Structure 1
Amino acid sequence: MRIVFAGSPAAAVPSLEALARAHEVVAVVTRAASPQGRKRILTPTPVAAAAAALGIPVLEANRLDADATAAITALAPELAVVVAYGGLVREPLLSAPPHGWINLHFSLLPDYRGAAPVQRALIDGRGITGVSVFRLVPELDAGPVVRMREAAIPEGATAGALLEQLAALGADELVAAVDAIADGTATFEPQSGAPTFAPKLALADGALDLTATAPAVLARWRGVTPEPGAHATVLDERGEGERVKLLALARSGAEPIEPGHALLAGRTAVVGTGSAPLELIEVQPAGKRPMSGADWLRGRGGSATFEPGAAA
């Protein structure tokens, strides 16, 4: 099939590569290059870089406006595919391809409609997730489903690791969906059940509430790692706070301590929660490089006090 592919982040790259092997991807639509890193170097999206390596023309567009609609329509695609593009598809573009638009979504719809399904599932402590391929309709993530597949969430997986796993799984399901559409065997079924929603995460969502139980703290840490990033506010002698990024946490067998209090337990750093302590494996104080939690605490005299409740 002649396909236009819309996507931006690394999670969309396996789908693009798989479709390019199986069908004719005539163009890729992706968000414009943006400044990245400390030096703010203008960098194309991972999908744009993958398309260039595959020799596929790239259309940069942050919105599917009239100009983008005209450019895509002129390519006469039979089908359009979107994977984490980062923008809405509206009429008349939605109906332009004869077979419409299909979307790969990283949840078992109608669970977790929205921009952050993987992150929200981890924060909620889910053990099962999956991928869905569905037809785009004007309502958010509400179209009928053509392919769906469950996946167990690995013990301790962060959002970054889980998304990488689902991206590979979803690429296979997406190609199977396109194959079925091409040979006329695809069956689209309405979504069943009450929907839940997964809005985009903000920086404040990464603030850890250390009065919560250790499993709840770990669940949120997993869900916000690597983006927007977990953090807590450490207090100085005057009670003033400074945000510290918590890059790596794990369960600990240390004795219980007060929520928010961090200290050295042998060679490891631990922090108290509303139940059991957690090990502070790696942290990053403001303006400094990542370091081990133990080295950070040694530099502070062996202990620290975080605001126990979540603070942005």
Structure 2
Amino acid sequence: MRIVFAGTPTPALPSLQRLIDSPRHDVIAVLTRPDAAAGRRGTPTPSPVAALAIEAGIPVLRPPRPNDPEFVAELAALAPDCCAVVAYGALLSAELLALPTHGWVNLHFSLLPAWRGAAPVQAAIAAGDSVTGATTFLIEPALDTGPVYGILTETIRASDTAGELLDRLAHAGAGLLEATLDGIADGSLQPVPQPGDGVSIAPKITVDSARVRWDLPAHVVDRRIRSVTPDPGAWTMIGDLRVKIGPVTVDAAGEAVGDPLPPGRIQVQRAGVRVGTGTQAVVLGTVQPPGKKPMAAADWARGARLGDEAVAS
């Protein structure tokens, strides 16, 4: 089939590369978000998907507003059989969705109808799910409600960060997307409506929502920090400083002795840096002060010279 691939960030790259290498499909163009400012100088930089397409010699489309009539006409002129979508980052109008013969097929990183929305991997980790996966479905105007072509499942490991889990799903999902397009091309695959129950929503993660709430139970603090690692990164205030916090470990030893450390209280020990939560303490892994690289929490604590009453908030 003649494919227009729509995607923007790094997790879309395995799928794009898989379709470029596919003998059954021809990626005639790539649709991605406009170049974004990067670095201290704010230099316009192509998205990861745009960079791969340029390297492969594939035309790149970067409309600021893809639903504008000018771009609708441009896509219509390309006459794609199908548009494949992986984390493009913009909502599409009904007029645009109707253009390809076989519609727009999205690879979404959850087991729909669970975790519809912008941050399904983060939501699954934060909720304590033990299993997640990826779904290919036909896009409709409503958010992630379209009929399903295929799924795959993936175990969420106890130490998974969002970045680690998303990387596994991106690579496994590339095969699912290719198989879905193969089935659409030869007529062997038809989409099935999503069930009406089991719907949950995964809204976009904001910087404010990535702030650590130390009053929550330790296992919830652990999950929430991993769910926003590496992006946008969990953070907390220590005095007047806003510092980023890497994944933590729950201090089971402290729980066993009835650890009294109150929420947010920082305790520096030879064995590590502990912070109180709503239940037992957690042990910090890495800390990133403003303007510096992440460092081991013990190294940070030595340089910070924390007092006995230091508190994270």
With the length of structure 2 as denominator, give the TM-score of the two structures. 0.92
Q: Contact 1:30/1:62 (CA < 8 Å) preserved in 2? A: no
Partners of 1:261 and 1:307 in 2: CA distance = 6
Deviates more, 1:262-271 or 1:178-187: 262-271
Identity score, percent: 44
Moved beyond 6 Å, runs of 4+? none
**Matched residue, 1:286:** 290
Matched, 1:80 2:83: yes
Q: Contact 2:226/2:247 (CA < 8 Å) preserved in 1? A: no
Name the SS for the 2:142 alignment partner: coil
Letter in 2 for 1:200: K
TM superposition shift of 1:278: 1.5
TM superposition shift of 1:21: 1.4
5+ long unaligned stretches in structure 1: 236-240
Q: How does 1:53-64 map to 2 (within 5 A)?
A: 53-64=55-66
TM superposition shift of 1:302: 4.5
Q: How does 1:161-240 map to 2 (within 5 A)?
A: 161-194=164-197, 195-235=199-239
Q: How does 1:54-203 map to 2 (within 5 A)?
A: 54-64=56-66, 65-194=68-197, 195-203=199-207
Q: Contact 1:102/1:134 (CA < 8 Å) preserved in 2? A: yes
Partners of 2:41 and 2:298 in 1: CA distance = 30
Matched, 1:251 2:211: no
Deviates more, 1:298-307 or 1:188-197: 298-307
Deviates more, 1:281-290 or 1:190-199: 281-290
Q: Contact 1:205/1:224 (CA < 8 Å) preserved in 2? A: no
Matched, 1:260 2:264: yes
- Deviation digits for residues 82-126 of structure 1, max 9, x if unmatched? 110001111211111111111110001111111011111111111
Q: Contact 1:9/1:47 (CA < 8 Å) preserved in 2? A: yes
Deviates more, 1:95-104 or 1:54-63: 54-63
Letter in 2 for 1:182: A
- Deviation digits for residues 31-65 of structure 1, max 9, x if unmatched? 11111233433211000011112221111123212
Partners of 1:294 and 1:6 in 2: CA distance = 44
Letter in 2 for 1:126: D
2:311 paired residue among 288, 306, 310: 306
2:40 paired residue among 38, 41, 52: 38
| Change over 3 Å in CA distance of 1:292–1:221 after alignment to 2 | same
With the length of structure 1 as denominator, give the TM-score of the two structures. 0.93
Deviates more, 1:15-24 or 1:55-64: 55-64
Partners of 1:40 and 1:291 in 2: CA distance = 26
TM superposition shift of 1:232: 1.0
Name the SS for the 1:232 alignment partner: strand
5+ long unaligned stretches in structure 2: none
Question: Could you say what the CA RMSD is over the residues aligned between the two structures, in angstroms?
Answer: 1.5
- Deviation digits for residues 165-216 of structure 1, max 9, x if unmatched? 1101111110010000000111210001332111101111111111111110
Deviates more, 1:3-12 or 1:67-76: 67-76
Name the SS for the 1:12 alignment partner: helix
Name the SS for the 1:110 alignment partner: coil
Name the SS for the 2:170 alignment partner: helix
Larger fraction in strand: 1
| Change over 3 Å in CA distance of 1:139–1:276 after alignment to 2 | same
TM superposition shift of 1:290: 2.4
Q: Contact 2:106/2:136 (CA < 8 Å) preserved in 1? A: yes
How many correspondences in the alignment?
303
Name the SS for the 1:131 alignment partner: strand
